[in-house]
């Protein structure tokens, strides 16, 4: 089999290249051919990948996290190409949702060598495909703030951005159109989940399935700042679903609108609302363990 090996060299605390070298060696030992794709920037890498696909590939393997995966989805979704993911990022929410080991490169490569392919859904917007969660509201405002910060690096920057954003945050006015039905909500945030988690394990859309042909739309209704801080750790456990402020809808299509708010998908900036997301059943063929 011939795979493009897309490398995010800055992933894994800049261990992306060494992780990719380890993966390429193991794939070669198993009889596969890899073509490295590593441009000076995301645009250059996408151009290289397109050229490689045009010459003939069996699949695309990404060494990186959710952002690196997001950058190639448009090239592999709804095609015959099979996708492989070797986690090397900060969040790795897609890998976790698929059961791909996030701290064992050899085990992740073994899944590719074993050749078990799982067919999963994606969310589709006019901007891009999304594998995990489309975030809007408090969480996207935190992302905007964190992206503007130069220090510290990693998850700590996100945690600091949460505290700073919460100090001035007020609930937002949302208009949601859910499979054609429109509702109004004042909310802390609205998340659209193809999978359950984002942000390195925040299980905001707990219960969302990657292959049920539906998107989970989660609304966190207004909550005091003190209570928000108290219950925030529950997002990592997925136990927030029992809170009175939690609201969920399961739909095939949703349009989100809120003045001045931007949306993020797979942790990457999609653009300002309004945005429409539609589930694309079976859009991605990915190497992953069989579903138990």
- Confirm whether 123 is domain-assigned: no
- Confirm whether 261 is domain-assigned: yes
User: What per-residue confidence (pLDDT) applies to 89?
Assistant: 78
Indicate the average pLDDT of the chain. Answer: 91
Number of domains in the chain: 2
Angstrom distance (rounded) from CA 133 to CA 198: 6
- Domain of 90 in residue numbering reads as 2-115
Q: In this structure, are 142 and 263 located in the same domain?
A: yes
Per the model's pLDDT, the better-predicted residue between 206 and 103 turns out to be: 206
The greatest distance separating any two alpha carbons of the chain, rounded to the nearest whole angstrom, comes to: 57
Angstrom distance (rounded) from CA 149 to CA 169: 18
pLDDT band at 151 (very low <50, low <70, confident <90, very high): confident
Q: In this structure, are 221 and 179 located in the same domain?
A: yes
Out of 90, 115, 140, a domain closes at 115
Give residue-wise pLDDT tens across range 10-23.
655 567 788 999 99
User: What per-residue confidence (pLDDT) applies to 13?
Assistant: 56
Q: In this structure, are 174 and 90 located in the same domain?
A: no
Asked whether the beta carbons of 122 and 73 are under 8 A apart, the reply is: yes
In terms of Cα–Cα distance, which of 223, 98, 83 is closest to 166?
A: 223
Angstrom distance (rounded) from CA 159 to CA 226: 16
Q: In this structure, are 30 and 54 located in the same domain?
A: yes
Mean pLDDT of all residues in 138-146: 90
User: What per-residue confidence (pLDDT) applies to 74?
Assistant: 93
Is residue 33 pLDDT above 90, yes or no? Answer: yes
| Tokens coding 272 | 């300002």
Q: In this structure, are 95 and 166 located in the same domain?
A: no
Q: In this structure, are 48 and 144 located in the same domain?
A: no
Mean pLDDT of all residues in 154-182: 90
CA torsion sign for 208, 210, 216, 221 is positive
Is residue 175 pLDDT above 60, yes or no? Answer: yes
Mean pLDDT of all residues in 74-92: 92
Mean pLDDT of all residues in 270-287: 97
Q: In this structure, are 140 and 254 located in the same domain?
A: yes
- Confirm whether 290 is domain-assigned: no
- Confirm whether 287 is domain-assigned: no
Rg (alpha carbons) of the chain, rounded to whole number: 19
pLDDT band at 274 (very low <50, low <70, confident <90, very high): very high
Mean pLDDT of all residues in 36-47: 74
User: What per-residue confidence (pLDDT) applies to 195?
Assistant: 96
pLDDT band at 163 (very low <50, low <70, confident <90, very high): confident
- Confirm whether 246 is domain-assigned: yes
Is residue 278 pLDDT above 90, yes or no? Answer: yes
pLDDT band at 9 (very low <50, low <70, confident <90, very high): low
Distance of CA 11 to the CA centre of its chain: 15
Secondary structure of residue 94 in the 3-state scheme? helix
Q: What CATH number does residue 184 fall under?
A: 2.60.200.40
The burial class, CB within 10 Å (0-12 / 13-18 / 19+), for 154 is: exposed
Q: In this structure, are 39 and 85 located in the same domain?
A: yes
Measured at the alpha carbon of residue 132, what is the angle toward residues 50 and 114, in degrees to the nearest 5? 65
In terms of Cα–Cα distance, which of 153, 184, 162, 177 is closest to 277?
A: 177
Mean pLDDT of all residues in 62-86: 93
Q: In this structure, are 82 and 162 located in the same domain?
A: no
Asked whether the beta carbons of 207 and 218 are under 8 A apart, the reply is: no
| Tokens coding 68 | 């690196």
Mean pLDDT of all residues in 18-46: 86
User: What per-residue confidence (pLDDT) applies to 54?
Assistant: 87
User: What per-residue confidence (pLDDT) applies to 233?
Assistant: 87
- Confirm whether 198 is domain-assigned: yes
Give residue-wise pLDDT tens across range 192-204.
999 999 988 899 9
Q: Which of 46-55, 110-119, 266-275, 276-285 has the lowest mean pLDDT?
A: 46-55
Q: In this structure, are 209 and 267 located in the same domain?
A: yes
């Amino acid at each position: 089999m011939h795979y493009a090996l897309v490398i995010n060299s800055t992933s894994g605390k800049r261990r992306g290249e060494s992780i990719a070298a380890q993966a390429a060696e193991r794939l070669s030992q198993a009889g596969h051919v890899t073509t490295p794709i590593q441009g000076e920037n995301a645009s250059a890498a996408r151009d290289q990948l397109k050229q490689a696909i045009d010459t003939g590939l069996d699949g695309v393997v990404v060494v990186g996290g959710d952002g690196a995966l997001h950058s190639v989805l448009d090239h592999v979704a709804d095609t015959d190409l099979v996708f492989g993911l070797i986690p090397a990022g900060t969040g790795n929410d897609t890998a976790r949702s698929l059961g791909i080991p996030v701290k064992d490169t050899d085990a992740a490569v073994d899944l590719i060598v074993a050749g078990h392919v799982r067919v999963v859904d994606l969310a589709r917007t006019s901007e891009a495909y999304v594998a995990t969660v489309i975030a809007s509201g408090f969480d996207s405002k935190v992302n905007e703030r964190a992206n503007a910060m130069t220090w510290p690096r990693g998850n700590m920057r996100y945690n600091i951005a949460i505290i700073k954003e919460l100090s001035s945050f007020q609930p937002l006015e949302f208009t949601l159109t859910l499979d054609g039905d429109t509702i109004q909500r004042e909310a802390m945030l609205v998340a659209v989940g193809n999978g359950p988690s984002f942000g390195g394990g925040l299980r905001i859309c707990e219960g969302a399935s990657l292959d049920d042909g539906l998107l989970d739309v989660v609304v966190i209704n207004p909550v005091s700042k003190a209570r928000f801080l108290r219950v925030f750790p529950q997002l990592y456990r997925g136990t927030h679903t029992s809170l009175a402020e939690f609201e969920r809808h399961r739909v095939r299509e949703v349009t989100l609108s809120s003045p001045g708010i931007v949306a993020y998908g797979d942790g990457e900036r999609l653009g300002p609302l309004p945005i429409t997301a539609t589930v694309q059943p079976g859009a991605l063929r990915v190497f992953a363990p069989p579903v138990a």
